[in-house]
Chain A
Amino acid sequence: MSQPILEVEDLHAGYGPIKAVRGCSLALSPGETVAVVGANGAGKTTLLRALSNLLPHEQGRVRFLGEPASGAPAHHLARRGLLHIPEGRGTLGRLAVRENLRIAYDVRPASQPFEAALQRVFARFPRLGERQSQTAGSLSGGEQQMLALARALINPPRLLLVDEPSLGLSPVMIGEAFRVLREFRDSGMSILLVEQNVMSALKLASRAYVLRQGQIVMQGDSGKLLAEGDMLKHYLG
């Protein structure tokens, strides 16, 4: 088995008194798509923010591409190939669509020249092409989500962290977002997906962890988790 892309051991992180992540351990191998599911307030978003070093690790160890990641500034991890699409998508509203993509492209050396990569993205997301010189803030919620996901297309990352892609989207756009994520998965991209929408997450990911009150209470193959009835118990109590 090749070396895992991401290894997390007994991670503790949180905001001041609120210890949202209390000892999580997980791993992700190259090309794998893994989901982290759980009710709101379970610590999913905090986990991702800790993995991309937006939050300090109070305890535990994280290794990205085999090298220790704890303590490195967030932009170092980004330059080593970790792309974190945060809750609320993290698009730069006052910059043009094209500029948002240019910044995502410049993160690390790319195999393709920018214009070529841009045309490839606009082929997949024609609407972004039509609006490329508009400010990202003027896009609709769904379009901003597409712009956020397009960042993983213009210069594919080694690991994609996606935080609640379905948040605030209409059902139609949720379907579209998951279709894009499925294309990324099928193209061999390693993805760690945090999602409250359990069914969609488990249908996309091969494996999943269930988080409850900052701790991993269940993990396993998506099929097995889907089948087990008590999965719902963790949600509806």
Chain B
Amino acid sequence: MSQPVLEVDAVIKRFGGLVAVDSITLEVREREALGIVGPNGAGKTALINLVSGFYRVDGGAIRFRGRDITNLKLHRIGRLGIARTFQNIRIFRRMTVLENVMAANPRHTARPLRSFLVSGAARADVDEAMALLEFMGLAGRADQLAGGLPYGDARRLEMARALAAAPSLLLLDEPSAGMNEAETARLIADIHKCRERLQGIVLIEHDMTMIRQVADRVIAMDYGKKMAEGTAEQVLNDPEVRRAYLGIMEDDRVAADPRG
């Protein structure tokens, strides 16, 4: 069995008294898309922030392709090949679409000062970026300011920029939030297209159609703990998960609630 791309080992994250991530253990296997579901405030985004280095880990360890990256500096984790998108779209609004993607070019992010000597419009860099924009259907808007993009295109730009960093693991945080049926369907197609370029994908989502069509395996989280794990069908039909999502019926809370 080849080594997993990502191993999260009993990771803990606390904000004051609240334990946002409560000793979560999971892994992303070679070329696998792992779905993460769970109600609001379950700790899903906190987990991604821990893996990508935005939050410091309070306990446990994270390994990426066998190497320990627990609490490694943000830019070091980025350079190792972990890229991500954000729930509230954090693109560079005052830069053009093409510049957004070219900014992620690993040749320059790794040695920023040396990039002063290079031409900003080097043929190779431009072609590489344009290929990605074509791949995500944004080539027509290359010179437009990212701030003016409609919602769906803004999401796709964020993914194109993440891919431009030549990652091996892509973390997606509710990419379909606020999208309608057609936009979600196109997003699923985009993710499938990206798969051959990546060794692993982590997808946080509330839209269950997307989870079913993209995730090979799914993990359900609630109150920072892993509640269920398995295929999409198994997890989405698990009574515990349905209850967490639909909420507790007033009268049937007689049984002692494990989450206390």
Binding site for B on A (CB under 8 A): 14-15, 17-20, 39-41, 43, 140-141, 164, 166-168, 170-172, 174-175, 178, 195-201, 203, 213-214, 232, 235-237
Contact = CB atoms under 8 A, between A and B. Distances in A.
14 contacts: A17-B149, A18-B88, A18-B89, A18-B151, A43-B178, A141-B18, A171-B253, A171-B259, A174-B248, A175-B253, A200-B248, A213-B181, A232-B242, A235-B208
B259 A236 contact: no
Nearest to B241: A236
A58 to B, nearest CB: 14
Given A41-B177, A213-B180, 19 more contacts: A14-B178, A18-B89, A19-B151, A19-B178, A140-B17, A166-B247, A168-B18, A171-B253, A171-B257, A171-B259, A174-B247, A197-B247, A197-B248, A198-B247, A203-B249, A235-B208, A236-B208, A236-B245, A237-B207
Nearest to B211: A237
A121 B259 CA distance: 30
A200 B174 contact: no
Interface of B: 17-18, 39-41, 88-89, 149-151, 154, 174, 176-181, 206-212, 236, 242, 245-250, 253, 257, 259-260
Q: Determine which residue in A19, A43, A140, A237 has the highest number of CB atoms from chain B within 10 A of its CB, and name it.
A: A237
A206 B21 CA distance: 36
B210 to A, nearest CB: 8
A200 B247 contact: yes
Contacts of B177: 40-41
A196 B207 CA distance: 14
A174 B41 CA distance: 14
Given A18-B89, A213-B179, A199 B249 contact: yes
Contacts of A15: 88
B248 A164 contact: no
A236 B242 contact: yes
Nearest to B38: A40
Contacts of B88: 15, 18
